[in-house]
A and B are shown apart, each in its own frame.
Chain A
């Protein structure tokens, strides 16, 4: 199958975002409120050296932007279609199911990146150069890492979505993934500031590669000589999750029942 079908699906998804642009703006507002509250809590709780304060808050800001950009809502979009039986029409289309939804998720990300950049712009007067990448190399690697983070996040969501084919409801799957994401991705704080046990767990799981890795690389919290190792870890996680998702999906298809009618 040529990529034309996926490109077309991508464009249609983007148009759908534009049709509900107001709703997405409200989504940004909701996320920004959540982010502002994190800032307010940390403003009070921060006890590190004063010279690292701006760098810490810059981390939180870029982490927010990355996290918002990679909110994929896959459980919701696929979950509704499974529950209502509409998934049958997706499965009979002459396209690959996993790639079809990847095209939609890519359009989600693209749309959200622009909104997130607007939110970062608001922080510039307060944090100034602390928000800038450490070097051109860090900026470049940070963007590559963001691209890999998309794949890790998408394939991670895809693995979790398989649970909806069994439970027919999306909340449990969504809540489980989001809870793990919130605790282990480094959205709330850089992973090096976690308590030892939580840090050890976070370092063994892929969630850190969605937010913490691209943010840390971009801001130069990671020395350049370690960047290639981190990018490799991200890529390996993406491949592993892609393969795992495809394998579970093939098993799920054998036993699935289409709802409705």
Chain B
């Protein structure tokens, strides 16, 4: 099957899954408030930190808001389009990949798009708001808005790719709740603070090995004149391409270890 046909099937599947989710209206509202609440809680933590010290690693409050905003946007996009990745551990335990493996499409992309989460809109709204407040307070030029989708998409691909690596691990670490995903999540949350406050090994980890720093720290550093803009445009895209190819390979490799549950 050609890639265009596969893409069209994925799009239809995503659409159908989205319709299903829209049936749960009360959950949509609660999910939206919950996701915004999560962002508000992290802002609460930031306010506790800034209550103790005015500058964090030389970064002011509005500059840190750019980091928070970019992270929330990244998370929101990933949850909207690729949220199914969180379900791999459960599917492995229950043997639910049997059905998927018989479909005449590539397993990973089809699997990823078939469970969008509507609470993603909460993160998208919160992310856009936080970024906007930060950008307006800093008086950034209009060009940042043109670059925002680029960074959000690159960030979404990097974040999803790292989660996909966790998914690949789930074929080996069997357990229904996928706690190892939370390691990745914790590291993503860590990248919301300026990376220069961390020890060198953490900076290396977050800029090279699991490049969450390219989602938020590098773009925000460029916007605040700490790094060249060209680097902030090219590096996230290259990292996204590399992460996606590694994650896809790892996931397909992990699938080889899949054993049906027989239930």
Using CB atoms and an 8 Å cutoff, list the residues of chain A in contact with chain B.
20, 22-24, 26-27, 29-31, 33-34, 37, 40-42, 44-48, 73, 76, 163, 166-169, 171-176, 178-180, 182-184, 188-189, 193-195, 198
Contact = CB atoms under 8 A, between A and B. Distances in A.
B3 interface: no
A44 B197 contact: yes
Nearest to A31: B182
A20 to B, nearest CB: 5
Nearest to A179: B37
B180 interface: yes
Given A29-B183, A31-B182, A171 B41 contact: no
B128 interface: no
B35 A30 contact: no
Contacts of B37: 175-176, 179-180
A33 B182 CA distance: 9
Interface of B: 24, 26-35, 37-38, 40-42, 44-45, 47-49, 51-53, 56-57, 117, 119, 173-177, 179-183, 185-187, 189-190, 193, 197-199, 202
Contacts of A24: 179
Contacts of B181: 30
Contacts of B119: 171-172, 175
A113 to B, nearest CB: 17
Contacts of A46: 52-53
Given A41-B49, A182-B45, A198-B44, A172 B183 contact: no
Which of A30, A178, A180, A182 counts the most B-chain CB atoms under 10 A from its CB?
Answer: A30
A220 to B, nearest CB: 22
Contacts of A37: 186-187, 189-190
B205 to A, nearest CB: 11
Given A20-B176, A171-B117, A193 B52 contact: yes
Contact of A183 (B26, B33, B40): B40
Contacts of A174: 34
A195 B31 contact: no
A126 B198 CA distance: 18
Contacts of A34: 182, 186, 189
